[in-house]
Amino acid sequence: MLNFPKTLQDSADFLSLTLAHEWAIPSFEYKVKSNTGVNIQVTVLDTGIILFEPDVNNAAYVGEAKLKHIVLSCGIHGNETAPIELCASLIKQLLLGQIALAHRVLFIIGNPAAINQNKRFVEENLNSLFSNTAKQKQAAVNFERKRAALLESAVLEFYQQSANAEHRYHYDLHTAIRASKHEKFAIYPFLHGQPWQQEQLTFLKLAGVNTVLFANAPTSTFSYFSSHQCHAKSFTIELGKAKPFGENNMADFEAMQKALMALLTNKTLALAQFEQADFNLYEIHQRINKQSANFAFNFPETAANFTCFNPGELIAQDGELRYYAQHKGEAILFPNANVPIGQRALLTVKPYVFS
Ligand code: ZN
């Protein structure tokens, strides 16, 4: 049997180890020392799931009251390679002792089997399987359903070490299928009436993301799960258009890479004061589910996310049903006419203003 710890210690390549063992990796742990003298406990929990914890007794330790508990996830959709490369690079630097880690961080490479097939998912969209109802849990078990349950328990266990939910963070990194009028954008999960945190928006801006969409209802996404179940400061972040491995220009992700590095090493973040004018803020307006095989959009297949429609303009039709834009500045998001009947084919969004 493969000596997993030795393989990882020799290669520092957790992504390759994960992709070579897409179903499971037995748990193991070891220590690395950073080149600044920080002792870091490395724990591989399973394939694609790796935890780094700085030794609380060393100089870089920021004190228990300020210790952050950060989840960085990527590859929830298998063909979204840029965030996978970004996380794999951070993991490698940590394994090589090149990062003076100040906080606990759990990295998740979401769907290794789909990554190997260069597909969004194998059997079912993983990002629609979180916070599952009992009814869904009883449904046929497939790879993605097992994976969603495993990721949920890993995240729950990870946050159990933080008594104070104030210090829990989760950034779920994606790239979108289609082009977007706003290249990078974040989705802020529904907070059930709690206030949106402007400090988190300024962090996103520092990370190169100044378009934010506020969700208006519970969803089955990973970020809604960690937000709602774990009270983490949690976001789905779209970092641009999905491209094959090796074709991403990593310079496009430099701001995010720098912001995450600053977060992990407790470097002071140069956060600007929140100014509404610095952002494109949206809230969800219409959620359009496909109801028949005759569902069709009234715009080209290639239309970019956040393409605007004038009030009264036809957006989609579904047999006898007609969907029109209703608001000034209403725009389309995530159109997909090929979803199964009953599932979401389109969101529309409208501008949001803090009152
Ligand atoms: Zn995605």
> According to the model, what pLDDT value does residue 140 have?
65
Residue 5 CA, ligand 1 centroid: distance in Å: 30
Residue 83 CA, ligand 1 centroid: distance in Å: 10
Residue 2 CA, ligand 1 centroid: distance in Å: 32
Residue 248 CA, ligand 1 centroid: distance in Å: 15
**Where does 2-52 have alpha helices with state H?**
4-11, 14-20
- Report the predicted TM-score, pTM, of the whole model to 2 decimal places: 0.94
Q: What is the DSSP annotation of 114-138?
A: HHHTTSS-SSS-GGG-TT--HHHHH
What number of other Cβ atoms are within 10 A of residue 273's Cβ? 8
Give the whole-angstrom CA distance, residue 35 versus residue 29: 19
> According to the model, what pLDDT value does residue 144 have?
93
Q: Tell the burial category of 56 from Cβ atoms under 10 Å away from its Cβ (0-12, 13-18, 19+).
A: exposed
Residue 59 CA, ligand 1 centroid: distance in Å: 38
Residue 341 CA, ligand 1 centroid: distance in Å: 21
Which parts of the chain have pLDDT scores under 70?
58-65, 133-140
Residue 150 CA, ligand 1 centroid: distance in Å: 19
Nearest partner of 334 among 296, 298, 306, judged by Cα: 306
The one catalytic residue among 152, 238, 275, 283: 238
> According to the model, what pLDDT value does residue 293 have?
96
Residue 238 falls in the annotated catalytic set? yes
Phi, psi values for residue 265, rounded to 5° = -100, 5
